[in-house]
Structure 1
Amino acid sequence: MTDEISNEALVQRFPGEPITHDNAAHYRGRLRRQLLVNRCDSCGAWHAPAKPICPDCWSSRVTPTSVSGNGTIFMAIFLHQGPPAEGVDYSTPYPVVTVELQEQAGLRITSTVVGASNADITIGAPVRLEWQERAGSPMPVFALRSAANA
């Protein structure tokens, strides 16, 4: 059971990731292939990255909550070089995107798009959540949705 994984084991599963008390539940969600974003129990606002209080109403009643993973590309850049990372090939510019999730305007997360040519990765393109193994741990990534299933 991934909720029972110790903090030490969680840090070992995601080497180099900045795991804190505030975001540990989100990494546990990744082990279940579940994208979690904090949602305020008082005002209903979503916010990322994980913080212990709601930035809208200052309530400390926030809960990591599963999101659909559907959204649109808000920003896209293409890296021509960068630090070595498993699964990253800079021989073709590597896409990094910020996706605005459908749950709330302004709710955005950053990742990459897989299974698409760089020419098709454009601002406003609809995407869906997928998962990819990186360094032995699940990483949320996005795939383009066709107009038919957008």
Structure 2
Amino acid sequence: MFNSYDKPLPIIDEDSKGYWEHARAHRLSVQVCKACGHRHFPPTPVCPACLSNTQSWEPVSGRGTLVSWVTFHRAYWTAFRDDLPYHVCLVQLEDGPLVVGNFVGAIPENAAMGMPMKVQFDDVTPDISLAKFVPA
């Protein structure tokens, strides 16, 4: 069912657990402050806007716009060596913060700032699904 995945895996802790539960169900989510409604990512133990510690995870649409991208030609971890070059993108979510992810496959031929993007999930282990992005 799953191929052998030899890349670094996230360490799931109390702050990130909700994100990974949603991702496993193929839902992109962001942390939301119950006190002020601020949406943020990555997770924090307190809200960066009001410092409340009442955080929760809410699904978002997974749609956004391409802000920037980069191609890595160096493997900082040995497990990524066979993937070189690999491509990382920065996406501004329609209903949330900026998120960093990978493109699914190569950079789209017509990649441009502002390009509509949507999330797609890659099930890499029975417990971990990684959010990646494709043109919408």
- What TM-score results when the alignment is normalised by the length of structure 2? 0.80
Residue 118 of structure 1 deviates from its aligned partner by 4.4
* Identity within the alignment, %: 26
Q: Does 1:98 align with 2:98?
A: no
The one-letter code of the counterpart of 1:124 is G
Greater relative CO, 1 or 2 (CA 8 Å, sep 6+): 2
How many residues in Structure 1 have an aligned counterpart in Structure 2?
Answer: 127
Q: In 1, Cα distance between the equivalents of 2:102 and 2:72?
A: 11
Greater than 6 Å deviation, 4+ residue runs? none
Deviations 1:90-145 (A, max 9, x none): 2xx321011111114xx111111125544323322110111112255321111102
Q: In 1, Cα distance between the equivalents of 2:9 and 2:120?
A: 22
Q: Does 1:142 align with 2:133?
A: yes
Q: Does 1:78 align with 2:57?
A: no
Residue 42 of structure 1 deviates from its aligned partner by 1.8
Structure having the larger proportion of residues in strand: 2
Q: Which residue of 113, 123, 133 corresponds with 2:123? A: 133
1:95·1:118 contact (CA, 8 Å) conserved in 2?
no
Deviations 1:53-108 (A, max 9, x none): 1111112222111011111112200112313249x622xx321011111114xx11
Deviations 1:3-29 (A, max 9, x none): xxxxxxxxxxx9631322111111111
Q: In 1, Cα distance between the equivalents of 2:98 and 2:42?
A: 9
Gaps of at least 5 residues in structure 1 are: 1-13, 146-150
Q: RMSD between aligned alpha carbons?
A: 2.3
Q: In 2, Cα distance between the equivalents of 1:114 and 1:15?
A: 18
Gaps of at least 5 residues in structure 2 are: 1-6
Q: Does 1:64 align with 2:57?
A: yes
* 3-state SS in 2 of match to 1:38: strand
The one-letter code of the counterpart of 2:88 is V
Q: Does 1:114 align with 2:108?
A: no
Counterpart position of 1:8: none
Counterpart position of 1:29: 22
The one-letter code of the counterpart of 1:79 is F
* 3-state SS in 1 of match to 2:18: helix
1:36-55 superposed matches below 5 A: 36-55=29-48
Q: Which residue of 89, 93, 107 corresponds with 2:83? A: 89
Q: In 1, Cα distance between the equivalents of 2:93 and 2:18?
A: 19
